[in-house]
Amino acid sequence: MKLFSAGIIAAASAQMGDMDMGGMMAQFMPMVEAKYNSLDHEQMHRDFMEDNTGLFERYFEFCDIGGDGVLTPEDDLACREKAINLIQSRIPFPLDDIGAMGLPIDQASAVTEMIFEKFIDLNHDGSTTLEELQMGAYCLLRTAAQLGLQFMGDQNAELPRSMFPDFDEMSEQALEAINSEEAQVYFRGHQGLYQKLQRTLSTRKIRKVFKSADIDGNNAYNDRELVKLLFLVGEKAVELVEMYLGN
């Protein structure tokens, strides 16, 4: 954890040290909101139904502690505790590392709350149904992808495949990382996971993920395809984490 978190903490604290997160979000929010409102929400729903990989269902199932089909603020707290306990019971190093991350939790949750109120809790009853979570989060991701493509995309608001590293290169670098001496410490006693990770990171598998995200096969990624890519990568990541945690 030290290895992986150190960089993030350094980057986050440098960023957040004297940055007013709330103020920044307030500045961005009208732009995000305008883009979000301009989406064709019925089309979004159809796209989601086709591209969904079940990530939100899994999250919902994991966090609906009360088992009543809605996520309440109490579920939210209990879920965080459940996740921390689960991690704590499996990792071979003390959780102090995570506790010491020192991320500005108050600010982060103020932002989360703003997003929850504006985009997720559509009927404003203070809790979240699976449908609210799915559509709210999906439309927000599409919004983010569209905004990102305005800056990084080509004239068709697409990200050409050539903007990503080569599949061989991606695979090679990822495999190098998991085969490093430091990383090997984490795989002790987790040979099954290590082997699965190696398969997942093969050139062939990476190519397959990128290929299935490119719905129209034009070798470029529009906002829908970028979100689909994220879903596919997320699905693999969840599989690996579940394997690690022995679920």
Residues that bind Ca ion (CB under 5 A): 121, 123, 125, 214, 216, 218, 220, 225
Which of 51/225 has CB closer to Ca ion? 225
Q: Which residues contact 135 (CB under 8 A, 6 or more apart)?
A: 41, 44, 45, 48, 122
CA gap 184, 198 in Å, rounded: 12
The CB-of-120 to Ca ion minimum distance in angstroms stands at 8
The CB-of-58 to Ca ion minimum distance in angstroms stands at 20
CA gap 86, 38 in Å, rounded: 40
Q: 198, 196, 192: which is closest to 179 by C-alpha?
A: 198
166 DSSP 8-state letter? P
User: Residue written as tokens 């269902």?
Assistant: 57
The CB-of-21 to Ca ion minimum distance in angstroms stands at 25
Which of 220/229 has CB closer to Ca ion? 220
The CB-of-134 to Ca ion minimum distance in angstroms stands at 12
CA 228 to chain centre: 12
Which of 184/212 has CB closer to Ca ion? 212
Which of 184/218 has CB closer to Ca ion? 218
User: Residue written as tokens 């002790």?
Assistant: 188
Phi and psi dihedrals of 114, rounded to 5?
-60, -45
Which of 135/220 has CB closer to Ca ion? 220
17 DSSP 8-state letter? T
The CB-of-104 to Ca ion minimum distance in angstroms stands at 27
The CB-of-220 to Ca ion minimum distance in angstroms stands at 5
The CB-of-79 to Ca ion minimum distance in angstroms stands at 16
Q: Which residues contact 126 (CB under 8 A, 6 or more apart)?
A: 72, 73
Which of 73/165 has CB closer to Ca ion? 73
Total residues found in the chain within this entry: 247
Integer-rounded Cα Rg, in Å, for the chain is 20
Which of 123/162 has CB closer to Ca ion? 123
CA gap 119, 128 in Å, rounded: 11
